Structure 1
């Protein structure tokens, strides 16, 4: 005789099944890319957010050189969209001041500040100098793990990646599935086809505040120890992790292929 499963065991099995089922598939990403082909960025964001086409959505913002453009676009649709900011403890003081000014200016009401696990810091970066000999390990502790934990409750994240920033971002689509995540979360890249000129024009048109470090030669801004000035004509992200064979913090994988 088959042993009858208890209600508690059935519920646990149901939860386990849901946990491993991907939220989005490659087919979903292709469908969304086709659906919004030819649409403006504003039309696409409005359609996705107001139409709940991507489920529960958050944006991840570094409040870096061009972050205010995406945040302004999102605020035009929903000022209460969750804005996840990774407080690594290594930011420029100017970035924190700029973050607070942008939040107030745009009327953002749902800033969520993510911090590293204290036990991880004590165990793996007690001196705070891991960035100097293991930048990947530092990013893992201060960015990747806190963000993974925070994103667990969301179905999709909106990024500020743009194709002109680096060769690793040149062929990304508007919609892609995070291949490093078994949950199958969707990544939305609204600005992927924007040029540097488009960004500059939008900033000017809407009179948006600039990050103060841009004028001082920092076109891409991350943590202070790992961000350097960039010479005119260089890749805008060439000042990140200068001297290291590293182009991303680990939140975005340089080898991810677009689903098109």
Structure 2
């Protein structure tokens, strides 16, 4: 299905309460179709290439096929698992993504990162590690891409901190933040993956339901929270880009 563009909306005039009520029970496809039709030129998907992100990418690129491809922003922290980087390259080729990669400026390896910031910055100052590798590159990327709205792959059932997350909200820069699978469960995401043969990170089959940076992502035991393996022992529930 090729989705045609309508007249773009004025972001400042959007009634987010009305949109959230209208789309609360909608399929993510309907939410994304509305975004493609109404925010066609300054819409960005942010993706860590976890399974939920790839569900969104599949809907955007395989089902909706907007005339102007939605850029997919990936934050290369320089500390990803090799499997994650392989998946990014595979997905970029499969979907012919408009892939936009952002990272720490002028640093291109873990060794160079350690030389600039010291060994294991995540152990010494995880807040600074996340700011340098994720928060600053994200904000710089959204600014450079001229985004007025960005799409995330967050679900309410991923963590208690996300339980009341709306589908449409505003970020600290007053951009529209769209969470099209907010109301979905992990089972529904994987159901979509199975039905449409969506590619995914092999680490998901090895006890990693949520995958972040290799040094600070551990396997999750049966019965643990889906995101229990992220920043284990630090007390953190978010890296900071969604706060």
Shared fold by TM > 0.5?
Answer: yes
Distance, in Å, in 2 between the alignment partners of 1:229 and 1:51 is 40
Distance, in Å, in 1 between the alignment partners of 2:203 and 2:221 is 14
TM-score, scaled to structure 2: 0.85
Distance, in Å, in 2 between the alignment partners of 1:220 and 1:204 is 18
- Pairing of 1:85-164 with structure 2 (within 5 A): 85-108=74-97, 110-118=98-106, 125-152=116-143, 153-164=146-157
Distance, in Å, in 2 between the alignment partners of 1:123 and 1:219 is 28
Measured against aligned partners, the alpha-carbon deviations of 1:151-202 in whole angstroms (never above 9, x if no partner) come to 1211010000001111011111110111xx2x31111000011112111210
1:64 pairs with one of 27, 43, 50: 50
The answer to whether the aligner puts 1:236 opposite 2:226 as a matched pair is yes
The answer to whether the aligner puts 1:29 opposite 2:16 as a matched pair is yes
Gap change, CA 1:234 and 1:209, over 3 Å in 2: same
For the pair shown, the structure with the greater C-alpha radius of gyration is 1
Alignment RMSD: 2.3
Does the Cα contact within 8 Å between 1:24 and 1:177 map onto a contact in 2?
no
Distance, in Å, in 2 between the alignment partners of 1:107 and 1:123 is 33
Q: CA deviation at 1:203?
A: 0.7
Aligned partner of 2:7 in structure 1 is: none
What is the total number of aligned residue pairs between the two structures? 225
**What SS is found at the alignment partner of 2:15?**
helix
1:206 pairs with one of 196, 201, 221: 196
The gaps in structure 2 that reach 5 residues or longer are 1-9
Of the structure 1 ranges 121-130 and 233-242, higher mean CA displacement relative to structure 2 is found in: 121-130
Does the Cα contact within 8 Å between 2:50 and 2:200 map onto a contact in 1?
no
Gap change, CA 1:234 and 1:24, over 3 Å in 2: farther
